[in-house]
Amino acid sequence: MDSGQHAVSHRSGILGTFFKLLFMVAFILGLSWLLRTFVFQTYEIPSGSMEDTIMTGDMVFAEKVSYYFREPEPGDIVTFQDPQIPGRVLIKRCIAVGGQTVDIGDEDGLVRVDGVALSEPYTDGAPSFTLSGGVSFPYTVPEGSIWVMGDNRTNSQDSRYFGAVPVSSVTGRGALVYWPVSDFGLLD
């Protein structure tokens, strides 16, 4: 083999390696985009509205697959587009769905759905009260919407403030706290 053929062979080897590396990077980026768009999303929790279930600073996985097969249900922890600040995602607990009526007893601090007081162990017994400037009660959730509330009822701007949110704005179901390790666990 003469030196000209060796140089061409060497260049084509480098070029081949470059294209393989470029393909691998494009594949990984494409797969990452597909997973984040259709399977799961990660979030860092910026506020205490879901304490003690999810703490400020926790990192959470929200999965998207279950809502391809069903709508959010009461008790689900959902991520959704903030109805007041475009581009911001909130995380709260679904309390009621379309057609259900929510009422909050300012005397006893209990949340009632269709006249039945909810058992809400995730609030650690903290009372729920209406928010000034918020919606009027009793409130019937429109079809195609859900009523959401933070587990930390004294520190949460939620449906009591901005009303029901459209199911179409739901981006996922909170599934797992993965960081810090001390808070690691499934969400329910």
8 Å CB contact between 150 and 123: no
Task: Give the H or E element holding residue 102.
Answer: strand 101-104
| C-alpha–C-alpha distance, residues 27 and 47, integer Å | 35
Q: Which amino acid is at 182?
A: S
pLDDT tens-digit readout, 100-148:
999 998 788 899 999 999 999 999 888 888 887 778 999 999 999 999 9
pLDDT tens-digit readout, 44-63:
899 999 998 999 999 999 99
pLDDT higher for 10 or 19? Answer: 19
8 Å CB contact between 71 and 143: no
Residues 6+ apart with CB under 8 A from 4: none
Which residue among the candidates 3, 20, 47, 92 is catalytic per the annotation?
92
Average pLDDT score, the chain: 88
Query: Which pLDDT does position 21 carry in this prediction?
Result: 85
Active site residue 49: yes
Tally of helices (H runs) and strands (E runs) in the chain: 3, 12
Active site residue 20: no
| C-alpha–C-alpha distance, residues 53 and 41, integer Å | 19
* Token pair 């279950």 in the structure block, residue: 66
Examine residue 138 and say whether the peptide bond preceding it is cis (omega within 30 degrees of 0): yes
High-pLDDT (> 70) share of the chain, %:
92
pLDDT confidence tier of residue 186, bands split at 50, 70 and 90? confident
Which residue among the candidates 12, 32, 49, 64 is catalytic per the annotation?
49
Query: Which of 8-12, 18-22, 71-75, 97-101 shows the lowest mean pLDDT across its residues?
Result: 8-12
